[in-house]
Structure 1
Amino acid sequence: MTVRSAGILLYRRTPELQLEVWIAHMGGPFWARKDTHAWSIPKGEYLEAEDPLVAALREFAEEMGTPAPPADYLQLGTFRQPSGKLITAFAAEADFQPEQIVSNTFSLEWPKGSGVVQDYPEIDAARWFPESEARIKLVKGQLPILDALGEHIGEQGTARGTAPK
């Protein structure tokens, strides 16, 4: 069975018209000391029968600790990851500025085989990065999402889903 995930890539333009994207550093001991290719768009799994935009909005709220901003969300596409997982990605232009990031957690035995189970945040940091820097930070399988954003940016009237305002 194919694992499906849905996520949101927020973007904004600086006064100098530089493109920035909102991405998140994955939590847990495996990612703790990694920075290059250790970031992701906020996303999470959903069932095939579920609306991917609804799932993306839910997962964003769970990982950020605050709802995604009201916006017109553009579906960028569905992207197969090296693991085989499919990510359906949505994008919106928004100046998202949460006071803090409070992610949901997951339980993990660490070190493996130690018998010690601890809770870790799914996301331990999130912030805006220039698109060029995000290309270094994002896990490699998500780089095509940035490419799709670049193809769609500036197009008018292409939103396929809208979050409640």
Structure 2
Amino acid sequence: MKFSAGVLLFRRTSGIEVLLGHMGGPLWARKDLKAWSIPKGEYDPETEAAQAAARREFTEELGLPVPDGEWVELGEVRYGSGRSKKEVTVWAVEANLDTAQVNPGRFEMEWPPRSGRMQQFPEIDRAEWFDTATAHEKLGVGQRPYLDRLAEHLAAR
């Protein structure tokens, strides 16, 4: 099983908005629905704490530190199957972030496939704020429970 951790920023406007990143690289370039993600990434739980990994991955993906604010634990979700089975841990932080300041990290992959050419692509190619209903459509099924957990947390306050 692989482990990932991330940070879901949220802000209050006329409702609640969350910050998502559109996955970078050629495999996601023409996709929109289910092609957005909470800023997160993999870590090894034997060598790094989940919250430290969430902070690191946020900075790697967006090129900005996690804004100051209270970290609200939204828990874990397991999804996938076989070798792609994953456990994701997410925290929510209430903060605003100017998406024009995003400077994403990069990753390298062979592209086109079987060409022998390695190319670099951004971790995310853009970040945007979405109301929670729109975010629900943009996220993959495995990350949607975090929107419900955030709503439950905010309703309890």
For 1:65-80, list aligned pairs within 5 A.
65-80=63-78
For 1:1-165, list aligned pairs within 5 A.
2-14=1-13, 16=14, 18-49=15-46, 50-82=48-80, 83-156=84-157
User: Which has the larger helix fraction?
Assistant: 2
Quote the offset at 1:100 in angstroms: 2.2
**1:48 alignment partner, SS class:** coil
TM-score, normalization: structure 1? Answer: 0.88
Report if the CA contact (8 A) 1:9-1:89 is conserved. Answer: yes
Quote the offset at 1:99 in angstroms: 3.7
Quote the offset at 1:116 in angstroms: 1.5
Alpha-carbon deviations, 1:114-164, whole Å to 9, x = none?
Answer: 1121001111100100111001111121111111111111445xxxxxxxx
Report % sequence identity: 49
Tell me the distance in 1 between the aligned counterparts of 2:148 and 2:40: 18
Tell me: CA distance 1:94–1:154, structure 2 relative to 1, closer, same or farther (3 Å).
farther
Q: Which residue of 2 aligns with 1:161?
A: none
Tell me the distance in 2 between the aligned counterparts of 1:122 and 1:98: 15
Report if the CA contact (8 A) 2:99-2:128 is conserved. Answer: no
Root mean square deviation, CA, Å: 1.2
Tell me: CA distance 1:60–1:5, structure 2 relative to 1, closer, same or farther (3 Å).
same
Report if the CA contact (8 A) 1:61-1:67 is conserved. Answer: yes
Tell me the distance in 2 between the aligned counterparts of 1:98 and 1:142: 21
Q: Which runs of 5+ in 2 are unaligned?
A: none
The 4+ residue runs of structure 1 with deviation greater than 6 A are none
Tell me the distance in 2 between the aligned counterparts of 1:107 and 1:97: 26
**1:114 alignment partner, SS class:** coil
Report if the CA contact (8 A) 1:22-1:126 is conserved. Answer: yes
